[in-house]
């Protein structure tokens, strides 16, 4: 009987150690594979495809990475499945909305840092948090909503969270048509910040936020009580995502881009680092 080919992870303990460490930081196999190419450009032995990493997790005849490693994958599943399309929510109307079609070109083409997208992430009701994602860098900020998601509570929480962001990276906010934004005019006035709204039934128009919220579900599990997370723990979760290399960012991280953009403008205050999440 022909013996199985010895895998690269078995041949290269240093590579195995690096891959395991990145998985424990909740990096995806694709992120790890791309990072290895950047980190070891001249060492072919420190390269590994994302498929090889998946096989080392899921194939029973391999023992380089135990099956418990799958808990660090975004889905938490023991097999990979195709994503389901997220259906429009069709939430209600608000007064005096400025439509997304009125946004200037500098928002649409993502060349200017400081334009944010936001939405709610629901847990077991009434637990909820708000998420803010900067369009150019995909930088994430998670906003606790301990007082619920009525319009006044959301306005106060967003005003406080966005007020912590330097003015030069706080230019506009785009939101879905949820009733939690009924006080958007006061929010805009208090922050001197334009607020735009998606077209009816078109939450995909703030796609950066939608995609990030899907990533967050690895930590903020559907149906779980989000009130168990302290503000520091939510910051730690945001830090994990902000420090990951992203395909959409050409395998840079959000923190990398914030640093590169302009430290002397105060943007460095946005940078968050991941710590252990329990």
Rounded to 5°, angle at Cα 105 from 104 and 110: 115
Report the Cα 24 to chain-centroid distance in Å: 17
Among residues 55, 174, 49, the alpha carbon closest in space to that of 115 is found at 174
Token readout for 230 is 């302290």
Confidence label for 158 from pLDDT (cuts 50, 70 and 90): very high
Among residues 41, 108, 29, the alpha carbon closest in space to that of 69 is found at 29
Give the model's pLDDT for residue 79: 47
Cα(248)–Cα(245) distance, integer angstroms: 9
Q: Could you tell me where the DSSP H helices lie in the chain?
A: 8-11, 13-24, 29-39, 50-58, 105-108, 151-163, 184-191, 207-216, 231-242, 254-262
Give the model's pLDDT for residue 265: 54
User: pLDDT tens across 205-259, in order?
Assistant: 999 999 999 999 999 999 999 999 999 999 999 999 999 999 999 999 999 998 8
Averaged pLDDT for residues 93-111: 88
User: pLDDT tens across 51-99, in order?
Assistant: 888 877 765 444 555 555 555 565 554 444 444 544 444 444 688 999 9
If one compares 116 and 56, the residue with the highest pLDDT of the two is 116
Q: What sign for the dihedral angle of Cα 209, 240, 235, 250?
A: negative
Give the model's pLDDT for residue 264: 45
Q: Is the peptide bond before 126 cis (omega within 30 degrees of 0)?
A: yes
What is the chain's mean pLDDT, rounded? Answer: 83
Confidence label for 12 from pLDDT (cuts 50, 70 and 90): confident
Record the pTM: 0.71
User: pLDDT tens across 132-145, in order?
Assistant: 999 999 999 999 99
Token readout for 65 is 């990475």
CA-based Rg of the chain, rounded to a whole angstrom? 21
- Residue 29: count of CB within 10 angstroms of its CB: 22
3-class secondary structure, 120:
strand
Give the model's pLDDT for residue 51: 82
If one compares 189 and 57, the residue with the highest pLDDT of the two is 189
3-class secondary structure, 21:
helix
């Amino acid at each position: 009987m022909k013996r199985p080919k010895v895998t690269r992870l078995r041949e290269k303990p240093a590579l195995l150690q690096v891959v395991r460490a990145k998985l424990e930081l909740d990096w995806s196999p694709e992120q790890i594979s791309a990072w290895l190419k950047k980190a070891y450009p001249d060492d072919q032995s420190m390269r590994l495809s994302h498929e090889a990493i998946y096989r080392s997790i899921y194939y029973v005849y391999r023992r380089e990475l135990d099956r418990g490693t799958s808990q660090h994958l975004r889905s938490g599943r023991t097999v990979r499945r195709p994503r389901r399309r997220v259906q429009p929510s069709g939430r209600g109307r608000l007064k005096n909305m400025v439509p997304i079609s009125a946004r200037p070109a500098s928002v649409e083409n993502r060349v200017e840092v400081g334009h944010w997208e936001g939405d709610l992430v629901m847990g077991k009701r009434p637990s909820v948090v708000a998420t803010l994602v900067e369009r150019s860098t995909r930088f994430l900020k998670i906003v606790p909503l301990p007082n619920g998601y009525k319009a006044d509570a959301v306005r106060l929480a967003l005003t406080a969270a966005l007020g912590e962001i330097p003015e030069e990276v706080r230019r506009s906010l785009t939101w879905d048509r949820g009733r939690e934004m009924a006080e958007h005019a006061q929010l805009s006035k208090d922050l001197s910040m334009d607020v735009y709204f998606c077209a009816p039934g078109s939450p995909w128009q703030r796609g950066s936020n939608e995609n990030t919220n899907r990533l967050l579900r690895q930590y903020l599990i559907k149906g779980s009580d989000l009130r168990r997370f302290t503000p520091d723990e939510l910051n730690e979760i945001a830090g994990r995502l902000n420090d990951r290399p992203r395909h959409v960012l050409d395998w840079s991280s959000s923190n990398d881009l914030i640093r590169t953009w302009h430290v002397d403008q105060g943007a460095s205050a946005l940078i968050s680092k991941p710590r252990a999440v329990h």
